Chains A and B, each alone.
Chain A
Amino acid sequence: MAAVAFFWCFLMWFSSAAFVPTIASQFDLSVKGVALLASSAIWTAPIARPLAGWAADKFGAPKAFVLILVLTGTFSILSAYAEKLGPAIGVSEYHFLFWTRVIVATAGISFVVGIQHVAQWFESEEMGTAEGLYAGTGNVGAGVGALLLPRIYGLDYHTAFVHLGIVAFIIAGWILLRGVPAKSAEQAAMAKKTATFRDTAFVWTRHAAIALMLAYAMSFGLEIGMNAWLPGYYKMGFEEAIKGLGFETLQDVQIAAGSFAAVQSFNASLFRPFSGWISDVWQRKGWTPFPMISKHLEYAPRIHWLMFALLSITTTMILLTVAGLQNNLVLSVLILALFGITVSFGTGGTFAIVPLMFKERPGTATGFIGGVSCAGGIIYPLIYGEAAGWFEVGGIHWGYALVAICMFIPFILYFIWAMHWDVHPEEHGFGSKEKWLGKGS
């Protein structure tokens, strides 16, 4: 149920992107206008995801899903009638379309609701695979939208938006009738009890939550940042090499660059469930190879698996720079494929831990970790762009190594430190538990 709802929300989240060429031409948008329209899809994520997590704990995931589906479904249908409704309320058609689509894009916040829902239903030994299947399969909604919507609806995005909204209502009705917040009433009651401002502040200030948020920024934040950055990178960084393959015109170079970039996106999404399963395997085998990180926590092997993922991501980032500096397109793309897989290790590995570590506050923790980390998707491309001007030779390639060394290595050191406690690592943070939650907590 969670996977279906999330799949549809993801489809709606990125449905605007599938029609960007049509909308851009219809409204004669500049390059900046197109970039603004494309980036608007993730504007609300860092702020609204924590709210969605809190709502999932407070009211239960089914009600939160219904609210998101009805709200975004309504605005999806309204956006289809921008031509009439915009002037009727005194704004231009494009402004009405743009802002209604920004609201529709909040469908992406459903991720944290589903994570919370899955956490309330599955056993800890199966958590990695369950969360991985949920998130990985849901993520495919974005790819399916890009692939199928233009084929089914051609240039008629109005009809597409209406149909997407109607199906959102149908799924909302199904969840309303059949959805149950948790496997047991006690579990649901515990989550509801902790959905307070004090508990939210408590979670946001825990070292373990911050470390997991940084881990997710190193994986999912990086994934969405790379989605936006890579097509341009291959076009600018390897233009001659791509032309050497026989792609002569600008359009052909764009297609080739986009094909290379898509490899990262596909691998990062589709290997995510696999990563959750590997986390289960490490847990079953009791593998804890890294020093300093706790070996005695019930779910310690999952933390070690995530540590392995973070080291892999950092290594492949540096290798991307090395391949770029050698101007070796084949090597760069092969490393990029591997990079996509290591990113999936990080995304799947993180959410195999979160529900287990923050058992009492799954929605609040997921909202913080899954929401704030999205800021990475905005920050990394900016650093890559800036770094291009700092180096005389191969500047555009240096950004990956720079981010890996200056950001990811400190993140990993913090992660190691935050995960060294053998007892309740989720309680250590800025300010004591008593300070945030009161005495007797």
Chain B
Amino acid sequence: MSGHSTRRDDYEYEPWYKYGVAFLFFEAAIAIAVSIYALSMAFSGQAVQFKKKVTFDKPKTAIESESTREQQDHSTITVPAKKE
């Protein structure tokens, strides 16, 4: 690759520039870290589900709701279906 008339080695950057460059390297490092984390978890068969497991049920009767509540797993949130 050869130099050309467009070369501007003498240009003095404004003060914000060095902080901007530091920040973009920080962002690139985050991207690499997230990629490595996601891939290592996935390839080891342990990809995590970040959100709580959410299930949606149709409205139940009071008796059904009572019995369901007793059996419900603590990691599960139940949302009543929309009334028409």
A residues with a Cβ closer than 8 A to B are 21-22, 25-28, 123, 125-126, 129-130, 132-133, 136-137, 140, 147, 150-151, 154-155, 245-247, 251-252, 255-256, 259-260, 262-263, 266-267, 269-271, 273-274, 276-277, 283-289, 295-301, 330, 333, 337
Cross-chain contact B20 with A130 (CB below 8 angstroms): yes
Cα separation A245 to B47 with both chains bound (whole Å): 10
Cross-chain contact B28 with A271 (CB below 8 angstroms): yes
Cα separation A260 to B35 with both chains bound (whole Å): 9
Interchain pairs with CB closer than 8 A, number: 134
Which residues of chain B are within 8 angstroms of A246 by Cβ–Cβ distance? 45-46
Instruction: Classify the interface of chain A: helix, strand, loop or mixed.
Output: helix
Which residues of chain B are within 8 angstroms of A300 by Cβ–Cβ distance? 4, 6
Given A150-B51, A270-B27, A287-B1, A126 contacting B17 (CB threshold 8 A):
yes
- Choice from A28, A133, A245, A289 contacting B1 with Cβ under 8 Å: A289
Cross-chain contact A133 with B8 (CB below 8 angstroms): no
How many residues on the B side are at the interface (Cβ–Cβ under 8 A)? 43
What is the minimal beta-carbon distance from B35 to any residue of chain A, in angstroms?
A: 5
Given A125-B13, A129-B20, A274 contacting B27 (CB threshold 8 A):
yes
Given A147-B50, A288-B2, A289-B1, A337 contacting B39 (CB threshold 8 A):
yes
Given A126-B13, A263-B39, A270 contacting B31 (CB threshold 8 A):
yes
What is the minimal beta-carbon distance from B45 to any residue of chain A, in angstroms?
A: 3
Q: Max chain A CB contacts within 10 Å: which of B24, B38, B45, B51?
A: B24
- Choice from B2, B5, B54 contacting A22 with Cβ under 8 Å: B54
Cross-chain contact A26 with B82 (CB below 8 angstroms): yes
Which residues of chain A are within 8 angstroms of B4 by Cβ–Cβ distance? 286, 288, 295-296, 300-301
Cross-chain contact B23 with A273 (CB below 8 angstroms): yes
Q: Does B9 contact A (CB under 8 A)?
A: yes
Task: Look across to chain B and name the residue whose beta carbon is closest to the beta carbon of A245.
Answer: B45
Which residues of chain A are within 8 angstroms of B42 by Cβ–Cβ distance? 245, 256, 259-260, 333
- Choice from B35, B51, B54 contacting A267 with Cβ under 8 Å: B35
Cross-chain contact A259 with B41 (CB below 8 angstroms): yes
Task: Look across to chain A and name the residue whose beta carbon is closest to the beta carbon of B48.
Answer: A255
Q: Does B81 contact A (CB under 8 A)?
A: yes
Cα separation A277 to B51 with both chains bound (whole Å): 35
Q: List 5 A-B contacts (CB under 8 A).
A: A129-B24, A259-B38, A266-B35, A286-B2, A337-B35
Cα separation A435 to B7 with both chains bound (whole Å): 36
